[in-house]
A and B are shown apart, each in its own frame.
Chain A
Amino acid sequence: MKLRYCLSGHPTLPCNVLKFKSTTIMLDCGLDMTSTLNFLPMPLSVPSWAELKECSGHVFVDSVPEFCLPETELLDLSTVDVILISNYHCMMALPYITEYTGFTGTVYATEPTVQIGRLLMEELVNSIERVPKAQSASMWKNKEVQRLLPAPLKDAVEVSMWRKCYTMPEVNAALSKIQLVGYSQKIELFGAVQVTPLSSGYALGSSNWIIQSHYEKVSYVSGSSLLTTHPQPMDQASLKNSDVLILTGLTQIPTANPDGMVGEFCSNLAMTVRNGGNVLVPCYPSGVIYDLLECLYQYIDSAGLSNVPFYFISPVANSSLEFSQIFAEWLCHNKQTKVYLPEPPFPHAELIQTNKLKHYPSIHGDFSNDFKQPCVVFTGHPSLRFGDVVHFMELWGKSSLNTVIFTEPDFSYLDALAPYQPLAMKCVYCPIDTRLNFIQVSKLLKEVQPLHVVCPEQYTQPPPTQSHRTDLMIDCQPPPMSYRRAEVLTLPYKRRYEKIEIMPELADSLVPLEIKPGISLATVSAVLHTKDNKHVLQLPPKPPQPPASKKRKRVSDDVPECKPLKPLLSGSIPVDQFVQTLEKHGFSDVKVEDTAKGHIVLLQEAETLIQIEEDSTHIICDNDEPLRVKLRDLVLKFLQKF
């Protein structure tokens, strides 16, 4: 029996728990940050006593932004044995789980995932801690109060679960519980289950996971991409023959083709800069930004933008750009070969060398001296609620020459912009999401052919804003099983077999007997020894010696007592031949009757009855033991013994 607990309602930031063969495995640990959109951008707030502020018709909470955590009430998270992380975006809730729930297990992730995940967490903590807020609002969370608030605050769910950001020590503690793994590495969990990460093609070090026992295989596909971008391509072949395929992390913008969006991004960027405006790109410090920089590297000369400075501002900008260059073995083939030339795999090294791309930890310090306009700025956070992006929104928002280009698909750009209204600057929405779209999913499923597909309920119906797009949902046979936040799902697969090892000595003692061509049988008498979820058949202990003295008798060593075994019989009795044999042996008045299950042979003289059925034979005679034994031996002649 396998159970899945869904702890997150966000299909691209999943957090699920799988109970499988006595192990409890948490799959990903995503943090839903869309809750921050209900808060006022951090540097914008002025100290006041009011918890709520109105801004261009929207009401925002004036407080340190809070995040919506995965469900913690559905099951005792201290019982989770391991956490498998599929990519750096899906581990942002890790400190909340490992540091607050009594979790004592291990976390598995690839090295780039951990390193870049650390950068993302560091940037998050840094951006929030940099602007200390005196107050933390909690009054509005009171159900009675919340009910009276305008939308979207009124409709915000699980507000009591929202938590402030973790701290750096918590991040470090959480990351210290991670064990690094490589693609295709097999990790045994308590001997019961084997887990293996596979390349998923979405980001540096991103993985899908295979969780399998000897007879069952569950694939967990989260955040995969079939496009040729910087990471190693997706390993599809290893997903074949799955009993269950859990499918999460598909593209959030299924209608936007990433290539078209990159084109759109470049065109709008060039148009703005040529008109003397500045471009602001709110983004994460890792991921799509590498591809964007690569596109720009090819594009800026042709578009006559060679003299326009590109700034990348993040507390972790430097590490992000450098890390990307050292994870060669996690990159796509093209980039790997560059390393042997030797050349840096990403061309942003050259942009930095030629001073076209400059990076700074923050807008303070060196940046303010170097800053020239018009320019292009990449900075976080894409929610526009904290980080240096807030300063640039304030600085450039009033001029229609400037443009803000949203490339991260995680936040609704209209909601992100709401507190900045009215805004003169142009806004362009070019979400670049390289994760699988529905056409690719349908090809993948055809290729991999899992017995069952399990996915978030969002994927089983068209997007709410485009209800006519029936092409934007998973279409497979049998239909996928769907789940939603705080739901427990029983996976549609029953375990039927278990692997057992036979010790060599025991195996030696077996004498298989061919009962049908190609099928041999042997009886086994052994002791089943189970330890660490491994089952071994051992030689039975020798029959216990008769105790020397009754005193020394004790219930010894858990060894069960062995009775001598009766041989097993197999085969069928051909009635005609049996009757002939009986006649040969002097039974003259043999009569045969057919019954529903077999035959009854009547020996009228002896008043004896032999009932022959498919799986049993009975000899019924009246207290004539010698006759019974004689008849038994005749019956046994027709059967095989082993």
Chain B
Amino acid sequence: MSDPGPALSAQKSWFIARARHRFAMTRECALLLPRVCAALADPRQPGSDDTCLEKLLDWFRTLTEFDPAVKLVQDNPCLTEFITSVLALPEPSPSILSFTLRLAGILAASESRFQHLQQEKLLVRLFGGDGPLSSAVWEDASVRSGWVEGVHSMMHHQPALHFLCNGGGIDVIFALQGDPSLFVASAASRLLVHMLILSVETETTKPLSAKDCDWPACAQMIIKRVEDSLQSSSASHVEQSLKLLTSLFGSCRSTWTEVLWLGIAKQIESFLTEKTVQVQHMLANLLLSMAWSPVFCDSEGSFWALVTSALEHLTPVQAGPLAVGILRLYKCPQDVRIQALTVLLQPMDCILRAASQPLEYAGLLDESVSDPATVEGLLSSKSSCAGLLCQTLAHLEELLSLIHLPVDLPYASLLRSLMTILQFCNGFLSPASPLGSTISRILINCFRVQRSALDVLAALSERKGCDTLIGSLFDVLLAYLESPNTSPTVLKKTFQATSKWLVRLHELSCSNSQWQQTEKILEDVFLVLQKRLCSPCWEVRDSSLEFLTVLIKSLRDQDEFRQSLLSSEVPRLTENLLEDPESYVRASAVTAVGHLAFITYFAPESPVIGNQYDKENTVAKLQEILSTDPEGFPRRAVITIFTKWLRQGCTGQLEDTEQFVSRVIQTVEHDLDWEVRLGGLELVEVFCSQTICQLGPPKCSYAPVSSAVTSSIHQNKSLQVFCRAKLFSFLFRSLCDCDKPVGQRACDILLALRGSFYPISTLKDSQETGDSPAGSGIAWLQRTLRQGSLAQNFPTDGGNGVDFEDPESMMLALGTIDLEELHDELNKCSDHVEKSPQSLLQDILATVGTIEENEADCY
């Protein structure tokens, strides 16, 4: 084991050095700064661009971060002058005042500069009670926000802490917690947390304990305030303190937080039982942030008892987020976990009980944590029923998406409950209890609940233990698929759930050999799919096709599936949809037909042979779409499917593939949609790597001289194939594509090709080929490529002396053109133009300049 210390510190110092260098106060900057400051403090200036001011603050933040020295302010007196002159303004603009407050805070972050500014009395005038605080401009939220941020920035040392605490600043910050501007309010709350932590961690002399808690003065002030406001009868005050505590426990994991907690635990507990102040909704967040802190979750103490009590006393809607948060924890007592699960499942249990005869099903839960009447009441009210169910279902989906669940859910009962909800929603279930009929009446045609339930249903397919219910589950799903009342969005979700459960059904029938049930279900699914493919609503046709594609992707190796599918009308109807008037549907039809091909003509043991599935016809149809479809989506789908076919080796022998690829790229290279052109490049990439793999690497590639290169060309079959397929003209043209991703991809492919054809050692030499016969053409190519996307035209017919189908020229081009440089050029961000501090200062001055010019005009 080696000590990472030195390495890390070396890295850190390098980082600092680089940052210093990049953002340093250069001489040029130092010269510009006074003018900038003067301009900003000039009240005649129109409100400066906020972005510029933010960038300026960012710059100062980096400048000061690595340099605590007072030199910065000493060397640049314009900074303090700027602050002074802003303070002297009778009516400073809020944005400049806010900027000044934040700048002063940033400068005062180091103790030495803090003292410097103190000597000038600037900080008192800015942040003290007689500053902006008491002026009319305080009404502006940006000034208050600047004040809080300024204080937060300087709050890194004790002098700052004392400056504020002794100057009555704490009162201001506490008041700002209730600011009408949410930004200011939350910034104030964060500031208090920061100050509390700073005070405790820098000023404590001996470890704190519950018995002997001698809080430092500043911390004491804050804690006292928090304790007082917790006892207040005003809900908003209590809420502010709870928010503060939530963020404190979330950000600070030191043991003193427990000492603090012990002082207020009783009070917090009372919020659960005595509902005089309505703040229960805040408690879930507080408890969750504590549960993540090792200080509390490891403790044997009363914390978990409090969580248990919260689960009991909070309303189901409030307790839901707490329960799901607890279930995500790894460190949690099992009994609390079970209790959280019980809370979460209670609405589902209630549904199950409401739908069935007493004693028919045991329900989901053995016992409930809180009074079941509360949940029943919420579920039988029109205003809360759907909301509670959707929240519960969303939580369940969240839980099911976790790979490792710390608790076992009662999957079978959950599934039964989900099925019940879905049947309530479509009115297929006659409930046995009065509660059931109330719920069913509310839920009928409630799309929101249907969608959420179907999401959970889909997630549940991956959990085991529901197999006995699979038959009745498909009854429910098929009823949804068949019903004309199912809305298109619900139908889409039903398709998603059905596809997942069909996979599960298949796994199941493999293990228990109940093929008949599977066949029957598949038959029913395809029957309804047929109808849905003919729907007049395009969204329905589209999601039907997507469903089909998903099914083929996951079940194409299964005989029963293939047989059911091919003996239905679905394949024919799918092909019909290639001519759908809606472009999204055509695109989905292309994808579905492309996948269907895997089980029709590309399948080695194709079960159906004959004219019904005419491969040539389909390929021709897709190619026609690629070349003539007026919309981009279907064309993108075609190129994606072609690439998929090529990847899976479905395009036949090499010669056929070569012709196929050649045909496709000639269609694609003029496409107006860049994604289609990019798709074409992806196809080329796959083709290249497959060809090179198939034909083996070029021989004699180690030959060191250019003559050897030339001689090897004739043996390089891959290169010949690529030239014949007109790959290079496509690739080089793409380098000049006006859409950058296309150029980048083409460059990557060319680099890879060069890597295959040239060993690195030979590269340097081979680049000196100025006098070769193709040399002048290559020179033209180089010039053109340098223009990049500005190159007006890019003839590929050899008119410029470049024969893109000649292996020798192409080999030369690959070797000569500086692809790395092109690569770098293409990968630069679009805003790579200079963004140095100097240019920022110049920008600010430029706007000022116009004013000065105007002034000159006036005289």
Contact = CB atoms under 8 A, between A and B. Distances in A.
Interface stretch (B104-112, B424-432, B496-504, B669-677): B424-432
Contacts of B532: 267
Nearest to A260: B484
Contacts of A516: none
A303 B534 contact: yes
Given A301-B581, A302-B582, A467-B430, A263 B483 contact: no
B534 A267 contact: yes
A469 B581 contact: no
Contacts of B536: 262-263, 266-267, 295, 298-299, 302-303
A356 interface: no
B427 A263 contact: no
Contact of B484 (A256, A295, A471): A256
A494 interface: no
Range class of the A interface residue count: 20 to 34
Contact of A271 (B431, B531, B537, B581): B531
B535 A267 contact: yes
Question: For the complex, would chain A's binding face be called helix, strand, loop or mixed by DSSP majority?
Answer: helix
B485 interface: yes
A266 B540 CA distance: 13
A519 to B, nearest CB: 46
Contacts of A257: 484-485
A87 interface: no
B440 interface: yes
Contacts of B535: 263, 266-267
Interface in B557-603: 569, 572-573, 576, 579-582
A457 interface: no
B253 interface: no
A468 B437 contact: yes
Max chain A C-beta neighbours (<10 A), residue from B430, B536, B573: B536
Max chain B C-beta neighbours (<10 A), residue from A257, A266, A430, A468: A468
Interface in A356-399: none
Contacts of B576: 274, 304
B484 A430 contact: yes
Contacts of A48: none
B530 interface: yes
Interface string B524-549: 00000011101111001000000000
Nearest to B540: A263
B484 A264 contact: yes
Contacts of A430: 484
B156 interface: no
B444 interface: yes
Given A255-B485, A256-B485, A468-B437, A275 B427 contact: no
Question: For the complex, would chain B's binding face be called helix, strand, loop or mixed by DSSP majority?
Answer: loop
Interface in B472-525: 483-486
A260 B535 CA distance: 10
Contacts of B485: 255-257, 260
A185 interface: no
Contacts of A255: 427, 485
Interface in A257-287: 257, 260-264, 266-268, 270-271, 274-275
B531 to A, nearest CB: 5
Nearest to A299: B536
B569 A275 contact: yes
B537 A469 contact: no
Contacts of A468: 429-431, 437, 440
A466 interface: yes
Given A468-B430, A468-B431, A266 B440 contact: no
A271 B532 CA distance: 10
Contacts of B530: 271
B531 A268 contact: yes
B441 interface: yes
B441 A304 contact: no
Interface in A442-476: 466-471
A449 B554 CA distance: 57
Contacts of B579: 304
Nearest to B579: A304
Contacts of A466: 427, 430
Interface in A501-538: none
A260 B536 CA distance: 10
Interface string A280-311: 00000000000000010011011110000000
Contacts of B569: 271, 274-275
B440 A263 contact: no
A466 B440 CA distance: 13
A491 B173 CA distance: 70
A302 B576 CA distance: 10
Contacts of A268: 531, 534
A306 to B, nearest CB: 11
A261 B483 CA distance: 9
Max chain A C-beta neighbours (<10 A), residue from B430, B534, B581: B534
Contacts of A271: 530-531, 534, 569, 573
A274 B573 contact: yes
Given A260-B483, A275-B569, A470 B531 contact: no
B534 A302 contact: no
Contacts of A299: 536
A551 B429 CA distance: 92
Interface in A301-336: 301-304
A255 B582 CA distance: 30
A256 B569 CA distance: 27
A353 B231 CA distance: 83
Contacts of A263: 484, 535-537, 540
Interface in A597-632: none
A266 B582 CA distance: 17
A31 to B, nearest CB: 30
A544 to B, nearest CB: 73
11 contacts: A260-B483, A263-B484, A263-B535, A263-B536, A264-B484, A266-B535, A267-B535, A271-B569, A468-B430, A469-B444, A471-B441
Would you list the 3 A-B pairs with minimal beta carbon distance, nearest first?
A260-B484, A468-B430, A270-B534
Interface of A: 255-257, 260-264, 266-268, 270-271, 274-275, 295, 298-299, 301-304, 430, 466-471
Interface of B: 427, 429-431, 437, 440-441, 444, 483-486, 530-532, 534-537, 540, 569, 572-573, 576, 579-582
Given A267-B536, A304-B579, 10 more contacts: A256-B484, A257-B485, A260-B486, A263-B535, A263-B536, A264-B531, A267-B531, A268-B534, A471-B427, A471-B444
